[in-house]
Amino acid sequence: MENARYLDAAAAPAPADAAPPASIPASPLDAPWHNVREKLKGEVGEVEYRTWLRQITLGPLEDGELVLYLPSRFLRDWVRSQYEERLRTLWRAEFEEVREIELQVKRAQAAASGSVAVPFVEEESESPESAPVSAAVAEGRNDLAAPLDPRYTFESFVVGKPNEFAYACARRVAEKPSSPGFNPLFLYGGVGLGKTHLMHAIGLELARKGSVSVAYMSAEKFMYRFIAAIRSQSTMEFKEQLRSVDVLMIDDLQFLIGKDNTQEEFFHTFNALVEAGRQIVVSADKSPSDLSGLEDRLRTRLGCGMVADIHATTFELRISILEAKARASGVHVPPKVLEYLAHKITTNVRELEGALNRLIAHADLVGRPVTLDTTQDVLKDMLKAHDRRVTIDEIQRKVAEHWNIRLTDMSSARRARAVARPRQVAMFLAKQLTSRSLPEIGRKFGNRDHTTVMHAVNRVSELMDQDTAFAEDVELLRRMLEG
In the complex, which residues of this chain contact ligand ADP (CB under 6 A)?
152, 156-158, 163, 189, 191-197, 321, 349-350, 353
Of 195 and 225, the one with the shorter C-beta distance to Mg ion is 195
Q: Among ligand ADP, Mg ion, none, what binds residue 177 when CB lies within 5 to 8 Å by partner kind? A: none
**Closer residue to Mg ion (CB): 59 or 194:** 194
Shortest approach of ligand ADP to residue 6 CB, angstroms? 43
Q: Which does 194 bind (CB under 5 to 8 A by kind): ligand ADP, Mg ion, none?
A: ligand ADP
In whole angstroms, the minimum distance from the beta carbon of 295 to Mg ion comes to 22
The rounded distance, in Å, linking the Cα atoms of 380 and 363 is 15
- Please report which helix (H) or strand (E) contains residue 42, including its range: helix 30-44
Question: Which partner, ligand ADP, Mg ion, none, binds residue 255 by CB below 5 to 8 Å per kind?
Answer: none
Q: Binding-site residue total for Mg ion (CB under 5 A)?
A: 2
Least distance from C-beta 183 to ligand ADP, angstroms?
A: 21
Residue nearest to ligand ADP according to CB distances in the complex? 194
The closest alpha carbon to 100, from 135, 65, 142, 139, belongs to 65
What is the nearest approach in angstroms of ligand ADP to the Cβ of residue 221?
Answer: 14
Give which of Mg ion, ligand ADP, none residue 353 binds (C-beta under 5 to 8 Å, depending on kind). ligand ADP
Residue 76 interaction partner, one of Mg ion, ligand ADP, none, beta carbon < 5-8 Å per kind: none
End-to-end Cα, the chain, rounded Å: 38
Burial class (CB in 10 A: 0-12, 13-18, 19+), 252: buried
Query: Which has the closest alpha carbon to 170: 364, 348, 305?
Result: 305
Choice between 250 and 441, CB closer to Mg ion: 250
- Reported as half-sphere exposure (CB side, CA atoms, 13 A), residue 394 has a value of 14
Residues 185-204 that bind Mg ion (CB under 5 A): 195-196
**Residue 350, contacted partner among ligand ADP, Mg ion, none, CB below 5-8 A by kind:** ligand ADP
Judged by beta carbon, residue 314 or residue 412, the one nearer ligand ADP is 314
Q: How far is the CB of 191 from ligand ADP (least distance, A)?
A: 5
> d(Cα 375, Cα 421) in Å, to the nearest integer?
39
Residue 20 CB neighbours (<10 A): 9
Interatomic CA distance for residues 298 and 186, integer angstroms: 12
Give the list of residues 6+ apart from residue 422 with CB closer than 8 angstroms, or none. Answer: 399, 400, 402, 403, 405, 409, 410
For residues 342 and 477, which CB has a smaller minimum distance to ligand ADP in the complex?
A: 342
Residue 69 pairs in a beta bridge with 57, 104
Nearest distance in Å: CB 396, ligand ADP = 37
Helix, strand, coil tally for the chain in percent (to 5): 60, 10, 30
The alpha carbon of residue 93 and the mean position of all alpha carbons in its chain are separated, in whole angstroms, by 24
Interatomic CA distance for residues 53 and 70, integer angstroms: 9
Phi, psi of 381 (to 5 degrees): -70, -35
157 touches which of ligand ADP, Mg ion, none (CB within 5 to 8 A by kind)?
Answer: ligand ADP
| The entry of Mg ion, ligand ADP, none that residue 311 binds, CB within 5 to 8 Å by partner kind | none
Number of H helices, E strands in the chain: 22, 8
In the complex, least distance from residue 312 CB atom to Mg ion, rounded to whole angstroms: 15
- Name the minimum Å distance from CB 251 to Mg ion: 6
Q: What is the dihedral of CA 176, 179, 181, 187, to 10 degrees?
A: 40
| Cβ-proximal residue to Mg ion, closest one | 196
Beta carbon of residue 346, minimum distance to ligand ADP (angstroms, whole number):
14
3-state secondary structure of 250: strand
Cβ 350 to ligand ADP, closest distance in Å?
4
163 is in the binding site of which of ligand ADP, Mg ion, none (Cβ under 5 to 8 A by kind)?
ligand ADP
DSSP 284: E
Q: Which does 197 bind (CB under 5 to 8 A by kind): Mg ion, ligand ADP, none?
A: ligand ADP
Q: Does 232 bind Mg ion (CB under 5 A)?
A: no
Q: For Mg ion, what does the binding mask look like between residues 152 and 191, x meaning CB under 5 A? A: ----------------------------------------
| Interaction site with Mg ion (CB under 5 A) | 195-196
